[in-house]
Amino acid sequence: MRELDQHLAHVWMVRTFLKHSDEASEDEELAEVHRDLYDYMLALGPSIDRGDAVKYLHLARKKLSKLRKATEFFLEIQPEVSGHMNFRMAAKSLGLAVRQIESLLGGSDGHS
C-alpha cells in the first residue's frame, strides 16, 4: 500500500500540472484526463488515511482500468495538446508511474 502510494505521488503531480495548464482550460479532453486521475486517487484516500490495506488494494485494483485508460489517452493526445518539454515529461512520468502501479497490483483491474 505504501509503495503504491509513493507512485501515486507522481500521478498527483502530473494531474496538478495538467489541471493548472492553460491547455486544460481550453481542451475538454485534457481536462477529463486530470479529472480521471483525481477520481482514482480520491477513491483511495480514505483507505490509506485509515491504514486499511485490504480496502486500499481492493479499490486500487477495481479502479485501475480507469487510471490506465486516462493514462493511455493522455499519451495519445499529448503531442497534439503540446510538444513543450513540460508536457512530454508529464507524459513520461505518468506512463512510468502507472506501469509501476500496474506491476505492484499484478496488472489486475478487478474485472477479470
Does the residue 111 lie in any domain?
no
Does the residue 43 lie in any domain?
yes
Does the residue 94 lie in any domain?
yes
Grid coordinates belonging to 87 = 508536457
Q: What is the pLDDT, as a whole number, of residue 112?
A: 38
Mean pLDDT of 12-36: 96
Does the residue 28 lie in any domain?
yes
Q: Which of 15, 104, 43, 30 is nearest to 74 (CA)?
A: 30
Does the residue 110 lie in any domain?
no
State the total domains in the chain. Answer: 1
Give the whole-angstrom CA distance, residue 76 versus residue 42.
24
Does the residue 96 lie in any domain?
yes
Q: What is the pLDDT of residues 74-108, one digit of tens each?
A: 999 999 999 999 999 999 999 999 999 999 999 65
Give the whole-angstrom CA distance, residue 90 versus residue 84.
10
Residue with cell 485490504: 54
Domain that holds residue 6: 2-104
Grid coordinates belonging to 34 = 486530470
- 108, 61 Cβ separation under 8 angstroms: yes
Does the residue 16 lie in any domain?
yes
Does the residue 109 lie in any domain?
no
Q: Is the model's pLDDT at 36 over the cut of 90?
A: yes
Q: What is the pLDDT of residues 51-80, one digit of tens each?
A: 999 999 999 999 999 999 999 999 999 999
